[in-house]
Amino acid sequence: MSFKSIAIAADHAGYDLKSKLAEELRASGYEVLDLGTGDATTSVDYPDFGKAVAEAVAGGKAEAGVVVCGTGIGISIAANRHPGIRAALCHDETSARLCREHNDANVLALGARLIGEVVAKDCLHTFLKTEFAGDRHTRRVEKLG
Ligand code: RB5
């Protein structure tokens, strides 16, 4: 399955990177559901934005999600509290590929204060184009549910 619609959100620390990734997604032909936040200067709480993306993906409003905060840690924890969500915090293309192949991750989490724009875009494209490998991984992913 290749994803076509992507829900994306960030807190204030992730806003700048989130805006660049949303633009990259639109330019690449994806349908983008931007769930905020709306600027980098107003301090907000990352759990609210992880929840928004998790609900959009779990509820079928988007096929996959992208969440960004300073480290990617808090917002990935928030997203993973929702049934049906497998959010993977990635720092490189290999983790972005393997979280799809092995874990069937449906949300990509990135840390804007830890990785640069180029690496983030590499992670994004690799995440979105990589298929779940199935086979023995299916049993394991089912146990996550
Ligand atoms: C915000 O200062 C920061 O705590 C947040 O973006 C994130 O890194 C939390 O995990």
pLDDT at 1: 54
The alpha carbon dihedral of 129, 76, 83, 30 has a sign of negative
Bridge partner list, 69: 111
Helices (H) and strands (E) in the chain, counts: 6, 5
Q: Please compute the mean of the pLDDT values over residues 10-31 and round it to a whole number.
A: 98
For 40-67, the pLDDT digits (tens) are 999 999 999 999 999 999 999 999 999 9
* Per-chain mean pLDDT for the chain: 97
102 is catalytic: yes
Q: Please compute the mean of the pLDDT values over residues 12-37 and round it to a whole number.
A: 98
Alpha-carbon distance 86 to 66, whole Å?
Answer: 11
The preferred substitution site among 75, 80, 81, 114 for testing ligand 1, maximizing ligand atoms within 8 Å of CB, is: 75
The H-or-E segment that residue 99 falls in is: helix 93-101
Cα(2) to ligand 1 centroid in Å equals 30
Confidence label for 136 from pLDDT (cuts 50, 70 and 90): very high
pLDDT at 2: 79
Query: What's the pTM value of the predicted model, to 2 decimals?
Result: 0.98
pLDDT at 18: 99
The preferred substitution site among 46, 49, 114 for testing ligand 1, maximizing ligand atoms within 8 Å of CB, is: 46
